[in-house]
């Protein structure tokens, strides 16, 4: 079995982490794309194990939750009833420590109550105490947070309002317009917290 030299491995992974495509990485490094994909999976699994082991017993005051949209195979409107759940819209749920800006945990899957609860249960297992949690308006968050952290956990919803000047169909834009206002609505306050 041939072993890819360490410098070639580093060059391939460096290119991938900079956002270079697999085919372009193949051209730049001279490494076969199948080898690049295999190496990427191996390094990714190692990173996942390291992250999971290190992000435990964390003392965090504030956590921001959000989701990143992507799709697998095809966009959701083209998904057929007999397609797998792994096809179409997928979301990566992210829990971000507010001041450290560290990703505490993440989960990729459909934007469902079941995935949200699994994400929250994993977050609960990683943090000590009861931090303040802010989310967007996704309606699965309040119940999942209460179930994982208890009813006295402080949870608020951050609403951002955007302006999309000179755009006829804002829903077809790939990126949001300019933020015009932000509001914070407390869903639940921690017991004994100051009422402002």
Please give the average pLDDT of every successive group of 10 residues along the chain, which has 196 residues: 85 96 96 95 96 95 94 90 90 93 95 96 95 93 94 85 66 65 72 50
Structure tokens at 86: 């792994």
Do both 101 and 151 map to the same domain?
Answer: yes
Residue 162's pLDDT is 72
User: Rounded CA gap, 164 and 96, in Å?
Assistant: 28
Closest Cα partner for 95 from 141, 143, 46?
Answer: 141
Structure tokens at 166: 């000179």
Any domain includes 107:
yes
Is residue 138 within 8 A of residue 155, CB to CB? The reply is no
Any domain includes 1:
no
Residues in the chain: 196
Any domain includes 193:
no
Locus of tokens 């009813």:
151
Residue 89's beta-bridge partner residues? 71
Do both 46 and 59 map to the same domain?
Answer: no
Residue 191's pLDDT is 54
Give the contacts of 29 (CB within 8 A, at least 6 positions apart): 8, 11, 12, 15, 36
Residue 91's pLDDT is 94
For residue 156, the Cα-to-chain-centroid distance in whole angstroms is: 19
Do both 165 and 103 map to the same domain?
Answer: yes
Do both 63 and 43 map to the same domain?
Answer: no
Residue 195's pLDDT is 46
Q: What is the dihedral of CA 12, 39, 16, 51, to 10 degrees?
A: -130
Is residue 183 within 8 A of residue 159, CB to CB? The reply is yes
Residue 196's pLDDT is 44
């Amino acid at each position: 079995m041939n072993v890819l030299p360490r410098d070639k491995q580093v060059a391939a992974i460096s290119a991938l982490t900079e956002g270079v495509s697999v085919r372009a990485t193949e051209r730049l490094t001279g490494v076969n794309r199948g080898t690049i994909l295999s190496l990427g999976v191996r390094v990714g699994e190692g990173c996942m194990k390291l992250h999971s082991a290190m992000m435990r017993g964390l003392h965090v005051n504030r956590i921001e939750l959000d989701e990143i949209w992507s799709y697998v195979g095809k966009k959701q409107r083209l998904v057929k009833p007999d397609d797998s759940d792994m096809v179409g819209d997928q979301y990566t749920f992210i829990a971000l420590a507010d001041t450290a800006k560290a990703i505490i945990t993440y989960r990729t899957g459909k934007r469902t109550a079941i995935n949200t609860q699994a994400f929250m249960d994993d977050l609960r297992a990683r943090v000590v105490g009861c931090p303040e949690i802010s989310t967007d308006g996704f309606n699965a968050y309040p119940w999942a947070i209460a179930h994982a952290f208890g009813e006295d956990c402080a949870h608020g919803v951050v609403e951002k309002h955007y302006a999309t000047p000179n755009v006829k169909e804002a829903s077809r834009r790939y990126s949001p317009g300019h933020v015009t206002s932000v509001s914070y609505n407390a869903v639940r306050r921690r017991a004994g917290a100051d009422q402002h």
